[in-house]
A and B are shown apart, each in its own frame.
Chain A
Amino acid sequence: MEKKALLISGNESCVEGALYAGIQFFAGYPITPSSEIPEGLSRKLPKYGGVMIQMEDEIAAMAAVIGASLTGKKSMTATSGPGFSLKQENLGFASFNEIPCVVVDVMRGGPSTGAPTGPSQGDVMQARWGTHGDHPIVALAPNSIPEIFTETVRAFNISEKYRVPVILLLDEIIAHMRERMVFPEKGELEVIERTGPTVPPDQYKPFDVSNSPLPLVPPMAAYGTGYRFHVTGLNHRIDGFPTNNGEIIEKELHRIMEKIDLYKKDMFRTEAYMLDDAEVGIVAYGSSARAAKYAVNELRKQGIKAGMLRYVTIWPFEENAVEKLAQKVKFIVVPELNMGQLIFEVERAAKGRTKVHGVNRVNIEIIHPHDIMEKVKELSHGI
Chain B
Amino acid sequence: MAFEYEKYIRKGTLPHIWCPGCGHGIVMKSLLRAIDGLKLDKNDIAVVSGIGCASRLPGYLDMNTLHTTHGRALAFATGIRLANPRLKVIVVSGDGDAAAIGGNHLIHAARRNIEITLIVFNNSIYGMTGGQVAPTTPIGAIATTMPYGNIDPPFDIVRLAEGAGATFVARTTSYHTAQTEQLFKQAIMHKGFSVIDVIDACPVQYGRRNKPREAPDMMQVQKDNAIPLQLAQKKKPEELVGKIITGIFVRKEMPSYTETYYNTIIPRAQAK
Interface centre among A67, A68, A71, by most chain B C-beta atoms within 10 angstroms, is: A67
- Interfacial residues of chain A within 218-262, with CB under 8 A of chain B in the complex: 222-226, 228-234, 241-242
A225 to B13, CA, bound (A): 22
Interface size on A, residues (CB 8 A): 45
B233 within 8 A of A: no
A57 within 8 A of B: yes
What are the residues of chain B within 8 A of A59 when measuring CB–CB? 72, 75
Interface of B is mostly: helix
Interface size class of B (residues with CB under 8 A): 35 or more
A373 within 8 A of B: no
A149 within 8 A of B: no
A24 within 8 A of B: yes
- Interfacial residues of chain A within 21-80, with CB under 8 A of chain B in the complex: 24-25, 27, 43-44, 46-47, 49, 51, 53, 55-57, 59-61, 63-73, 75
* Least CB distance, A132 to chain B, in whole angstroms: 11
What are the residues of chain B within 8 A of A56 when measuring CB–CB? 75, 104-105, 108
* Least CB distance, A90 to chain B, in whole angstroms: 6
A46 to B269, CA, bound (A): 6
The answer to whether B266 touches A71 (Cβ under 8 A) is: no
A89 within 8 A of B: yes
What are the residues of chain A within 8 A of B129 when measuring CB–CB? none
Chain B residue with the shortest CB-CB distance to A93: B69
* Least CB distance, A338 to chain B, in whole angstroms: 29
- Interfacial residues of chain A within 154-197, with CB under 8 A of chain B in the complex: none
B52 within 8 A of A: no
What are the residues of chain A within 8 A of B259 when measuring CB–CB? none
The answer to whether B270 touches A25 (Cβ under 8 A) is: no
B82 within 8 A of A: yes
Among B67, B105, B265, B272, the residue within 8 A (CB) of A234 is B67
B232 within 8 A of A: no
A112 to B83, CA, bound (A): 33
| A-contact bits for B176-191, CB 8 A (1 contact / 0 none) | 0000000000000000
A67 to B104, CA, bound (A): 18
Interface centre among B10, B13, B42, B84, by most chain A C-beta atoms within 10 angstroms, is: B84
A72 to B87, CA, bound (A): 13
Supposing A46-B266, A56-B108 touch, asked if A224 and B84 sit within 8 A by C-beta, the answer is: yes
The answer to whether A63 touches B83 (Cβ under 8 A) is: no
* Least CB distance, A252 to chain B, in whole angstroms: 16
Supposing A51-B82, A228-B62 touch, asked if A63 and B67 sit within 8 A by C-beta, the answer is: no
A122 to B168, CA, bound (A): 46
A89 to B83, CA, bound (A): 22
The stretch of B43-51, B139-147, B198-206, B245-253 in contact with A is B43-51
B225 within 8 A of A: no
* Least CB distance, B89 to chain A, in whole angstroms: 9
| A-contact bits for B226-268, CB 8 A (1 contact / 0 none) | 0000000000000000000000000000000000010001101
* Least CB distance, A221 to chain B, in whole angstroms: 9
What are the residues of chain B within 8 A of A55 when measuring CB–CB? 75, 78, 108
B80 within 8 A of A: yes
The answer to whether B68 touches A70 (Cβ under 8 A) is: no
A46 to B78, CA, bound (A): 17
B39 within 8 A of A: no
A339 to B268, CA, bound (A): 48
Among B13, B79, B261, B269, the residue within 8 A (CB) of A64 is B79
* Least CB distance, A156 to chain B, in whole angstroms: 16
What are the residues of chain A within 8 A of B48 when measuring CB–CB? 67
Among B68, B75, B86, B87, the residue within 8 A (CB) of A233 is B68
Chain A residue with the shortest CB-CB distance to B44: A224
A288 to B62, CA, bound (A): 52
| A-contact bits for B58-75, CB 8 A (1 contact / 0 none) | 110011111111001001
Interface pairs (9), CB distance under 8 Å: A25-B83, A61-B75, A64-B79, A67-B48, A71-B83, A75-B79, A223-B84, A225-B43, A233-B51
A contact set with B: CB distance below 8 Å:
24-25, 27, 43-44, 46-47, 49, 51, 53, 55-57, 59-61, 63-73, 75, 89-90, 93, 222-226, 228-234, 241-242
Apart from A60-B108, A66-B76, 5 more pairs, CB < 8 Å: A61-B75, A66-B68, A70-B79, A72-B84, A231-B66
B contact set with A: CB distance below 8 Å:
10, 13, 42-44, 46, 48, 51, 58-59, 62-69, 72, 75-84, 86-87, 104-105, 108, 261, 265-266, 268-270, 272
